[in-house]
Amino acid sequence: MRGKKGKFIVPGDPVGTIAAQSLGEPGTQMNMRSFHYAGTAEAVPTGLPRVIEVVDARRTPKKPMMDIHVKERYAKDEKKVRKIANNLEHVTLHKIAGMMEDFDKKVILIRVNPSELKRLGLDMRLIRAKIVEFLGNKAKVEQRENKVRIKFSKKEKIINIRKTMNKLKLLHIKGIPRIEKAMIIKEGEKYFIRTGGSNLAEVIKLPEIEVGTVWTNDIMEVNKVFGIEAARNAIVKELKIIMDSQGLPIDIRWLLLLSDAMCKSGTIQAVGRHGLSGHKAGILARAAFEETMKHLVNASIKAEEDKLSGVTENVIIGQIVPIGTGIVKLKFASGRGTQKAKK
Amino acid sequence: MDYKITAAGGILAKKKDEKTFSLEHFLIPVHELLSDEQKKEVLLKFNITEEQLPKIKKNDPGLKLFNIKAKQGDVIRIKRKDPTGSYDYYRTVI
């Protein structure tokens, strides 16, 4: 690496160790339990808990969320943005309706909340159609104003009614699955949408939104939809945001190095015994970290060989570690040397 | 979803109803498939074998976005734009 004063990093510098220290020390200063309440009623973890989440490569974050910017021509129109946000929100039947089952009469009663209907701009006919489509010919559906009555045959088993009820509760009415909330936030003159819950694959298909700037904090989902390189960029961005929010100045190169290491195998590996440290090349390096016996026994069963090329291995056996000047090796050019000596 | 690359380098994704829309995302860098000669050049430059490069999965969505049909052992060039500068990164397909 070259800077104004020459080379900052020279061959043999233990950059991994320096990166770990540079990230670990600010980590001690971070808030143990901090959240931000950006427009949502939910608390999204930031600070140390969030760093751990990212670095451990959790399957889903504790509170997934997305920032969605709408196309330039809609951005200043609050009503339009609100309408787009409403269309995002995942609405299931039990969210807009009271539901009751009557086992004696073999009937499920659904009373849809009229104010919710109005807010979401829904029509009872649509809801009726959805229910009919879901039930098929299992039961008869009667609808009067905002009430729906589902009549089963007298011989229907009670357990089947309960099962149908549970499935009906989660009947998809509108919106994108897994997006629980969508609210709009004003930024300068423009509005953007922030959602609780995340579903990148579906959101990028929407025509009204600016696809290029959609952001989600679910890194695994980025990996699934955009690929490993995008996931690596997402890790860098996420860690940088956290560090900045905590007021900890950290050189971005350490974050780049960490995320490159996490993504080098083609999938996102956690930093720890199930990820990076557990997949090191050297047996002794793995054994020195955690689960010593497991690694030693497995290596001996497979007759693995340790080339003693890493730092940890050489510390263990008491040789010079291959860092800095220790990385230089002397090679003896026998032929030429002896000839010169003869002369 | 099917994807197509436009002449401008942006990516088009086809929806089921055949409407296309562009998918240029700030997180996705440009991926390129290297020819055999380019691959040799790269490996010679770093003096390594292809197993020593970082990996990318054959079914990675990033490759699909750029319509790259890669087989095992191919090398992908990624044009990264980091805050520290632009550079090329290489991954072997596994």
A265 touches chain B (CB under 8 A): yes
Architecture of domain A282-327: Orthogonal Bundle (1.10)
A81 touches chain B (CB under 8 A): no
Q: Do A14-64+217-262 and A91-174 come out as alike in CATH topology?
A: no
B91 touches chain A (CB under 8 A): yes
pLDDT at B42: 92
The alpha carbon of residue B55 is apart from the nearest alpha carbon of chain A, in Å, by 5
Pairing of strands B20-22, B11-14: antiparallel
B56 touches chain A (CB under 8 A): yes
Q: Which residues contact A343 (CB under 8 A, 6 or more apart)?
A: none
The alpha carbon of residue A179 is apart from the nearest alpha carbon of chain B, in Å, by 21
The alpha carbon of residue B6 is apart from the nearest alpha carbon of chain A, in Å, by 15
**CA distance readout (Å), A295 to A181, A307, B56:** 46, 16, 27
The alpha carbon of residue A159 is apart from the nearest alpha carbon of chain B, in Å, by 39
pLDDT at A138 exceeding the cut of 60: yes
pLDDT at B20: 43
Residues A171-204: pLDDT tens digits?
A: 888 888 888 888 888 888 888 888 888 888 888 8
B84 touches chain A (CB under 8 A): yes
Mark yes or no for CB contact B27/A233 under 8 Å. yes
A222 touches chain B (CB under 8 A): yes
Mark yes or no for CB contact B28/A213 under 8 Å. no
Share of chain B above pLDDT 70, in %: 76
Residue B77: inside a domain: yes
Residues A195-222: pLDDT tens digits?
A: 888 888 888 888 888 888 888 989 999 9
Range of the domain at B42: 28-93
Residues B24-50: pLDDT tens digits?
A: 788 888 888 999 999 999 999 999 998
pLDDT at B40: 93
Query: Would you put residue A45 in left (φ > 0), alpha (ψ -120 to 50) or beta?
Result: beta
Mark yes or no for CB contact A266/B65 under 8 Å. no
The number of C-beta contacts closer than 8 angstroms across A and B is 83
| Candidates B1, B25, B89; nearest CB to A211 | B25
CA-nearest of A236, A225, A220 to A203 is: A225
Architecture of domain A14-64+217-262: Orthogonal Bundle (1.10)
- CA dihedral (A67, A69, A74, A78) in degrees, to 10, reads 30
Residue B23: inside a domain: no
Residue B48: inside a domain: yes
Average confidence score pLDDT of chain A = 84
Residue B22: inside a domain: no
Total domains in the fold of chain B:
1
Share of chain B above pLDDT 90, in %: 37
CB A314 within 8 A of CB A320: yes
What CATH fold (topology level) applies to the domain A91-174?
Answer: Gyrase A; domain 2 (3.30.1360)
Mark yes or no for CB contact B60/A207 under 8 Å. no
Helix A47-55 vs helix A228-245: angle between axes, to the nearest 10 degrees? 160
Residue B45's CATH number = 3.90.940.20
Task: Give which of A211, A213, A229, A264 to mutate to test B binding, by max B Cβ within 10 Å.
Answer: A229
Residue B19: inside a domain: no
Residue/partner pairs of A29-38 with CB below 8 Å, 24 or more apart: A29/A246, A29/A248, A30/A246, A30/A248, A31/A246, A34/A246, A36/A245, A38/A185, A38/A194
Taking contacts as CB-CB distances below 8 angstroms, the residues of chain B near A229 are: 28-29, 31, 56, 62, 78, 80, 89
Residues A41-60: pLDDT tens digits?
A: 567 788 888 888 899 888 88
Residue B69: inside a domain: yes
- How far is the C-alpha of A52 from the C-alpha of B12, rounded, in Å? 36
> If you measure CA to CA, which chain B residue comes closest to A281?
B52
Residue type, A113: N
**Domain residues of chain A, as ranges?**
14-64+217-262, 66-89+178-213, 91-174, 282-327
